[in-house]
Amino acid sequence: MNVWQIGQVRITQVVEAGPSPTSTKFLFKDPPADLVQQHGWLLPHFASADGKLLMSVHAFVIESAGRTIVVDTCVGNDKPRQNPGWNRLQTNFLADLSAAGFAPERIDTVLCTHLHVDHVGWNTRWDGSRWVPTFPRARYLFARTEWAHWAAEAEARRAASPDAGPEDDVFGDSVQPILDAGLADLVAMDHRLTDEVWLEPTPGHTPGHVSVRISSGAQQAVITGDLMHHPIQCSEPDRLVKFDSDAQMARDTRRRFLACCAADRSLVLGTHFAHPTAGRVVAAGPVWRFEVQADATAGGAAPA
């Protein structure tokens, strides 16, 4: 478990799954067979010698100004999914979250950077008869633009297939129950949670995608969400990602983000970056490279 201290803000990573060896074809459209080999700096943390990307599914817990904020809630247990690797999972995520000091009742805020399947799963849990909020005392924050997009998609899905089964009804099992329980807050894409934590609009992967900025005591960090899935995108910012809804906007967002992080030296926490997860973006000609923080490799606090 990685823990980082950014001024007065503490950030704890809780892993649901990974690191998992993943083909470059899962992420990119038509990648060259030697894509990983072209970027030797990825080894050993973020790629394997046989050319696989190492990826992780995890949440971050931010403690700031008396608030306890979970950022992205992974895939979740018991959810019917067509992806066999995510179908009706049975993981120890909640137990691990509690072991880290964050029992569900302690969480007062849940923030989803966007509403894809692997970022909303633990919003809810199965109580034996229905999906109920996992964090009953929390307010769940969704960017209004993001929510509107997926609410319209869910309505269109129901209209087109009224008898469809529950598989991949992500909005229905992981978002709508939060709205029904009255726990959802629809917020602007630059919403400020505390004086130290706020949202940054980073659209392209999805229409209302946000990242999370942290600044405290002259130290800075940023949680990526899925504007980048893997550190290789520092060196391949323009390569087409299968899951980006607007490819050109996603490319432009990545380039602006990487240039900004290289300039301000923010500690970058990748939402799918395998251990050690945190590092700095550094310029490498017309692109960039991701440098692991030495302290983070030990799973301890990484200075910013």
Q: Name the residue among 112, 84, 64 with its Cα closest to residue 210.
A: 112
CA distance 212 to 210: 7
- Alpha carbon distances (Å) from 121 to 80, 158, 169, 302: 11, 20, 11, 28
The pLDDT, as a whole number, for residue 166 is 84
**Average pLDDT for 98-123:** 98
CA distance 304 to 168: 39
- Alpha carbon distances (Å) from 98 to 20, 102, 135, 261: 23, 5, 12, 32
**Average pLDDT for 24-51:** 96
Sign of CA dihedral 150, 153, 155, 161: negative
Which of the 8 DSSP states describes residue 28?
B
The pLDDT, as a whole number, for residue 18 is 92
How does the average pLDDT of the chain come out, rounded? Answer: 95
| H or E element at residue 177 | helix 176-180
CA distance 48 to 27: 16
Q: What is the 3-state secondary structure (H, E, C) of 267-294?
A: EEECCCECCCCEEEEEEECCEEEEEECC
Query: Above 60 in pLDDT, residue 69?
Result: yes
- Alpha carbon distances (Å) from 1 to 4, 12, 61, 296: 10, 7, 12, 10
Contacts of 163 (CB under 8 A, 6+ apart): none
The pLDDT, as a whole number, for residue 167 is 85
Query: Above 50 in pLDDT, residue 243?
Result: yes
The pLDDT, as a whole number, for residue 301 is 43
4 and 298 Cβ atoms separated by less than 8 Å: no
Q: To the nearest whole percent, how much of the chain has pLDDT over 70?
A: 96
